[in-house]
Structure 1
Amino acid sequence: MIKNNPYFQIIILSLCSFFSVAAHAANQLESVRIWAAPESTRIVFDLSGVPDYTYFSLDGPNRLVVDLKKTTAKVVLKNLENNSKLVKGVRISKSPTKGDLRLVIDLVKPLNASLFSLPVTAPYGNRLVVDLEDKTLTTATAIVSSTPVKTVTQAAQSSRDIVIAIDAGHGGDDPGSIGPSGVYEKKVALEIARRVSSKINDTPGMRAVMIRTGDYFVNLNKRSELARNSKADLLISIHADAFTSPNPRGASVWVLSMRRANSEIGRWLEQKEKHSELLGGAGEIIQNTDNEQYLAMTLLDMSMNSSMAIGHS
């Protein structure tokens, strides 16, 4: 009798429709953020769940198409803030698969694209990161401060300015520590870096190189590479560290011991660095599955041991 009841059939059909829609809308695009660096651009898609995606490139005009499986969007892309010189904009296009979300990134020219997902890391949720870089870019170079440089003329023709690379910590997705008033460490570090750079350039015989000049994230390994490519004699990384109380003043230098984080503050700092890498995007680390990573780790350990020995001497 119940099966033949028309009301029962309507309820069953409604429930089936509800669960069908829910299954197709298992994920949701909540926001999109664009971080523009001088020679690259990072686009971050914030999602309610882990992204299941595919992508491909098109030319005439140049585009990168990203398909998000079983995803809907509640963000208005027309109002998306974009200061990138490589990306014209991001828009939604009709997906050939029902229930999927197709995103089109309109490009100024052909670019190398690297995509990877990142897990929930406060204050962010699940993310799909798109890194775009100019295909014609062969070697990364740091941006030299535009402040006029004073040099010292000496008799020796081989004399040159001492080059100091100034690295403002954090940036982009990674705000660093957040002060009681809501000030981000990344902004404080960049302002200090600019002032230090100006002081250095005002000093005869010295020249400053800024590792980052705006609000974007530079991979931790890339910072050292930029300094080396600029033939820097010294790399200084500037941070405004968080601490357990507001009492400490002045500068601090911290080197983990041979046994790594063997103290409470050591463990705390190490976790902060890992957290910072996840916020900024650990694409290069996540995608490096080649056996060369073990060689890189060995060389890194040797370099760290040497630095510690020199520092203690």
Structure 2
Amino acid sequence: MTKKFLLYSAPFFILFGAFSLFEPWFYRNLFASTSIDRLEGKEFQIIAHKGASGLAPENTMAAFQKALDLGVDQIELDVRHTKDEEIIVFHDQRLDRVARDTLGNPVTGDVHDYTLEEIKQFDVGSWYDSHYSDQRIPTLKEVLDFINGQVTVLIEIKHMDHPHYDDFAEKLVEVVMSEDDGESWIILQSYEPEYLDIVHELDSLIQTKALIIGEDSAPLIAFYVETRIHMGRAKESNRMKAINPQWETLSPRRVFQMHAKGYQVHAYPVNTREDMIKMLNAGVDGIITDYPNVAIQLRNEIRRLGQETQ
């Protein structure tokens, strides 16, 4: 009886497991609506990824200015340490992809191999367009002073197993506290919960967010471990109000589960109008995008829907 039951039920369990594993894919490709008709009255946060990084070179003053000009709700940026342990706004561990020297050649090496004075000589705009050849790597302090509370700033703490990063969280807290009312408009986020633990211990008023690993390499482990264990820890301490999963990991059911746990859900990086609509129909509260202009236009269209029915 038991053997027959297992034999006959095995295909069902395999099918159920496969559907659970690839549920977001099924949603995006088979079930998700690309119509805005059901989004009437839907409000959502628009978060500029590395500034308006689809419209200007990422993590530069030009990208941050464009994001502010567009009227985004939040700006996301990345931080790393220089050799002399200054905090700069930069995404990659290495400089090669975007940094150019005075001769226009790619700069090799890790960020922490160079001092701030050396790094300030590099052009980080020409790779995107020659129009931006004057763009330099800014310090975090320079960027925060420039934004000055006009919008919320999400600072992603990049993890590195290097001595320069031993007191990284402590220095970030100092920078946040140096800004006028910084705790109200600056949020620290990371894939690494230990950074967030340190931040909370140093200043419980500073807001934190967890970044959730995507499902590209190990869907079940990545999604379920991150959401159930790390989110569970955060919930116990009541210090995380929102999470930022990769958009490919989401479906309406998964967003509902996160909402049920008390979290807002901001999906990243969502860069096309069609994908933005799919995520909004799935119930997300915010869109993190390289193209905030597309999200702004979409939000305006959704708001007009409500005006037309009044």
Query: For this structure pair, what is the TM-score category when the shorter chain's length is used for normalisation?
Result: under 0.3
- Give the TM-score of the pair, scaled to structure 2: 0.22
Higher helix share: 2
TM-score normalized by the length of structure 1: 0.22
- Structure number with the higher strand fraction is 1
Larger RCO (CA under 8 A, 6+ residues apart): 2
